[in-house]
A and B are shown apart, each in its own frame.
Chain A
Amino acid sequence: MDLTSINPVLLIASLMVAATPILLAAIGELVVEKAGVLNLGVEGMMITGAVVGFAAGVNTGSPALGFVAAALGGAALSLLFGLLTQYLLSNQVATGLALTLFGLGLSALIGKPYEGIKSPTLQKLDLGPLGDLPVVGPILFGHDPVVYLSLLMVLGVWWGLGHSRAGLILRAVGENHDAAHALGYKVVRVRMAAIAFGGASAGLGGAYISLVRVPQWVEGLTAGAGWIALAIVVFASWRPWRALLGAYLFGGVTVLQLNLQAAGLAIPVEYLSMSPYVVTILVLVLISARGQHGAPGALGRVFHGTG
């Protein structure tokens, strides 16, 4: 085994890429949960975004349009969840699972003709001489626009939730929907908006996998990334910056195990590839052992406003 073949700078740069899909999905789901809705359909929305984005990218030749289509696709699917849970008052856990199963089927159906095709390449953002700097260059200035978009979204969600009026209303709805309703806020409308945002983010995350990370379409492409995003929201105690930390931690484990596989470590490949999931479980245990701080008060509860 040759550990010197692992370059730490490239490792950090590639962990950012590996973490981006999960970060996008997690930041969306964080907003949804802050509004008091538990959408377990992240995996379904991600994979739908992945296939819609891929199809749009291949057909138009433009990855940017692919991402737009993926966001729209994810949002459309999430509105289905919103319709059921917010207007038809169905159980959120069951509906979220249904969304995932539905999304897996839908994506497999849409994606059939696209198997084995390569997607158009998303150009890296050209930051001129900054990208040529040693160490800092590849890590900070050598990425494609979506990586920066995901970081901007973390910043935006942090500011929006904590420092804007809309964020305050959203949190009020998530903490106690009856009180928010009594104050005259439109609980259902706020939640629908949050759900659509979550869907669009998950769709973007999925498209990042199919258009940039892999970049190909295969059935079941997301392989649990949506569930890991859900776990990261818990890990983050519903705080945006911690979600960033969690996603990059997870990205680090993923990239490291891939590098170890390539370096020919004496551990069988199967055990290395299960390590991200095992790490996620361990992290969940560590967080829950301290008690779950910061879970929105009305998370997962059905709101039935009368009058």
Chain B
Amino acid sequence: MIVFEKRPSPSRFWAAVTPVLAVLATMIAGGVMFWLLGKDPLVAIRTIFWDPLFDPTFGAYSRPQLLVKAGPLILIAIGLSIGFRAGIWNIGAEGQYIIGAIVGAGVGLAFYPTESRLIFPLMVLAGAFGGWLWAMIPAFLRVRFGTNEILVSLMLVYVAEAMLASVSQGLLRNPDGMGFPGSRNFKEYPAAHNGEIIAGTGMHWGVVMALIAVIFAYLLLSRHMLGFQVRLSGEAPRAARFSGVKPARLVLFCLGLSGALAGMAGLFEVTGPAGQVSIDFGSGYGFTAIIVAFLGRLNPLGILLAGLLMALTYIGGDLASLMLGIPAAAIQLFQGMLLFFLLAMDIFTNFRIRLKKPEAA
């Protein structure tokens, strides 16, 4: 008989190994899925995980995409992870991402066609503010009325999507766009454009900000009192209250921070890779970032790696759908599977598995 024995504290060894095992298990299960879809599983896995980086023809195009896709994922996941650690579940990052993009882009477009170095930093701040404000709605409602932040933050995603549809056809529509929906393209507005910092690498300001966020989160969690309070609240809420943690302040901080980072990610995306505010701007980064946060074990360095891996599955998925005709949805399923395997394998982190002879009751 198999018995689970609770470990006194989670195993650090298994915490580091389970994501790798989960990726392997997902590759195997994904291979079976591709085989069922009538594709050669080995070719499919190679197309997703190897070709985007090392293929001589596609590599040059897809390598920069790695940073372009990983940037927003990491930036959003870092913010989410801090809340998740404290047991504060912001799952509406997608909405905060959209509102950040709308507010930031709106500020930039208001100054069109002024050329000033100050415009872009101002837009970044406005984007962060937009995301922060959107996250403050569930935060305030939870603190003031005890409303469940999971449901409110998620509902606000749909509200944000409706607002996006509204502004891209109305308020922010390109006045020279002959009535087509969508804002002005930021590529034609240099002061507000978030272009590549080093040509051909995919490195833009959003990626820089993601790296800063990783370092900031690492220092916060390991060196700062607030980080200690975050960890304590998640692991032992009762002990946290006795040690003087103010739950309300923590809710406001965690939701506010994740909202601001998601808003910034939206702004960097709209002014860079996306180029304009349009109806289909929401890309699901806010939801995929949840997977990134868990796959990275809610640990800043882990999230950095997880974000790169998840970006790889996006690019590899595009390549696989182009080359092998694997539907794009298969990749979404693949990402969902990854999270499942990871959560299932967490049993090794938190429990010892012992074989025990059945005893007479």
Binding site for B on A (CB under 8 A): 40, 80, 83-84, 88-91, 93-95, 97-99, 101-106, 108-109, 112, 219, 223-224, 227-228, 230-231, 234, 268, 270-271, 273-274, 277-278, 280-281, 284-285, 288-289, 291-292, 304
Question: Is the beta-carbon distance between B158 and A277 smaller than 8 angstroms?
Answer: yes
Residue of B nearest to A286 (CB): B145
Instruction: Enumerate 8 A-B pairs (CB-CB under 8 Å) in ascending A order.
Output: A88-B344, A90-B343, A101-B290, A109-B329, A231-B151, A268-B170, A284-B148, A288-B146
Residue in B91, B157, B332, B350 whose CB lies within 8 Å of A104: B332
Of B60-68, B107-115, B160-168, B202-210, the segment with at least 4 beta carbons within 8 Å of chain A is B160-168
Task: Name B87's closest neighbour in chain A (CB-CB).
Answer: A93
Instruction: Give the distance in Å from the alpha carbon of A88 to the alpha carbon of B342 in the complex.
Output: 11
B329 touches A91 (CB 8 A): no
Which of B6, B91, B340 is packed against the most chain A CB atoms within 10 Å?
B340
A281 x B163 contact (CB < 8 A): no
Q: Which A residues are in CB contact (< 8 Å) with B157?
A: 224
Instruction: Tell me how many residues of B have a C-beta within 8 Å of chain A.
Output: 46
Q: Tell me the dominant secondary structure on chain A's binding face.
A: helix
A26 to chain B, nearest CB (A): 13
Tell whether A90 pairs with B346 under 8 Å between CB atoms, given A97-B91, A105-B336, A273-B162.
yes
User: Which partner residue on chain A sits nearest B342 by CB separation?
Assistant: A98
Give the distance to chain A from B29, nearest Cβ to Cβ, in Å. 11
In the complex, the chain B residue whose C-beta lies closest to that of A102 is B336
Give complex CA distance A124, B34 in Å.
41
| B294 part of interface (Cβ distance < 8 Å) | yes
Asked if B151 and A102 make an inter-chain contact with CB atoms under 8 angstroms apart, the answer reads no
State whether A231 and B145 are in contact (beta carbons under 8 Å apart), knowing that A84-B340, A109-B329 are contacts in the complex.
no
Question: Smallest Cβ distance from B25 to chain A, in angstroms?
Answer: 13
B interface with A by C-beta (< 8 Å): 4, 6, 89, 91, 141, 145-148, 150-152, 154-159, 162-163, 165-166, 170, 287, 290-291, 294, 327-337, 339-340, 343-344, 346-347, 350-351
Q: Which 8 A-B pairs have the closest CB atoms?
A: A102-B336, A108-B329, A105-B332, A105-B333, A274-B162, A270-B166, A109-B329, A98-B339
CB–CB B327/A112 < 8 A: yes
Residues in A with CB closer than 8 Å to B165 are 270
Alpha-carbon gap, A158 to B332, bound state (A): 38
CB distance from B336 to the nearest CB of A (A): 3
Distance in angstroms between the alpha carbons of A277 and B137 in the assembled complex: 14
Tell me which residues across on chain A come within 8 A of B141, comparing CB atoms: 281, 284-285, 288
Q: Are B147 and A288 in contact (CB under 8 A)?
A: yes
Not counting A84-B344, A101-B291, A278-B159, a sample of 16 additional A-B residue pairs whose C-beta atoms are within 8 angstroms of each other reads A40-B150, A89-B4, A89-B347, A89-B351, A91-B343, A94-B294, A95-B343, A98-B340, A103-B336, A109-B333, A112-B327, A219-B329, A270-B166, A278-B155, A281-B147, A281-B151
- B158-A93 in contact (CB<8A): no
A131–B37 Cα distance when bound, in Å, is 48
B155 & A231 in contact (Cβ 8 Å cutoff): yes
The answer to whether B158 and A288 touch across the interface, beta carbons within 8 angstroms, is: no
Specify which of A98, A224, A280 lies most central, judged by the most chain B CB atoms within 10 Å of its CB.
A98
**Min CB–CB distance A30 → chain B (angstroms):** 15
Contact of A224 among B155, B166, B330, B346 (CB under 8 A): B155
Once A93-B150, A231-B155 are accepted as A-B contacts, the answer to whether A102 and B162 lie under 8 Å apart by CB is no
CB pair B151–A230 under 8 Å, yes or no, is yes
- The answer to whether A102 and B159 touch across the interface, beta carbons within 8 angstroms, is no
List the B residue with the shortest CB-CB distance to A80: B340
Determine if B336 and A104 form an interchain contact, defined as CB atoms under 8 angstroms apart.
yes
Residues of B within 8 A of A234 (CB): 148, 151
Q: How far is the CA of A150 from the CA of B163 in the complex (A)?
A: 34
Q: How far is the CB of B84 from chain A (nearest CB, A)?
A: 8
Please give me the residue from chain A that is nearest to B165 by CB atom. A270
Question: B151 to chain A: which residues have CB within 8 Å?
Answer: 227, 230-231, 234, 280-281, 284
Contact indicator A271/B291 (Cβ below 8 Å): no
Is A101 within 8 A of B155, CB to CB?
no
Question: Which residues from A are CB-within-8-Å of B4?
Answer: 89, 304
Q: B152 contacts A284, CB within 8 Å? A: yes
| Other-chain residue from B147, B159, B327 in contact with A109 (beta carbon distance below 8 A) | B327
Q: Are A101 and B150 in contact (CB under 8 A)?
A: no
Among residues of B, the one whose C-beta sits closest to the C-beta of A40 is: B150
Distance, CA A88 to CA B18, complexed state (A): 14
In the assembled complex, the CB of B317 is this many whole angstroms from the nearest CB of chain A, namely: 11
Bound Cα distance from A260 to B343, whole angstroms: 45
Say how far B263's CB is from chain A's closest CB, in angstroms: 19
Does the CB pair A274–B159 fall under 8 Å? yes
A112 touches B329 (CB 8 A): yes
- Check if A281 sits within 8 Å of B156, measured CB to CB: yes
Q: A270 to B344, alpha carbons, bound, how many Å?
A: 40
Return chain A residues, CB-CB under 8 Å to B91: 97
User: Are A292 and B146 CB-contacts (below 8 A) given A98-B339, A270-B162, A304-B6?
Assistant: yes
Give every chain A residue within 8 A of B344 (Cβ-Cβ): 83-84, 88, 90
Chain B residues within 8 Å of A98, by CB? 291, 336, 339-340, 343
Question: Is A227's CB under 8 angstroms from B148's CB?
Answer: no
Structural contact, A268 and B146, CB atoms closer than 8 A: no
Of listed A40, A105, A230, residue having the most chain B CB within 10 A? A105
- Judge whether B145 and A94 touch: CB under 8 Å: no
Residues of B contacting A223 with CB < 8 Å? 158
Residues of B with C-beta under 8 A to A93: 89, 150
* B residues near A106, Cβ cutoff 8 Å: 333, 336
Q: With A and B bound together, what is the CA distance between A88 and B344 in angstroms?
A: 6
Chain B hits for A219, CB < 8 A: 329
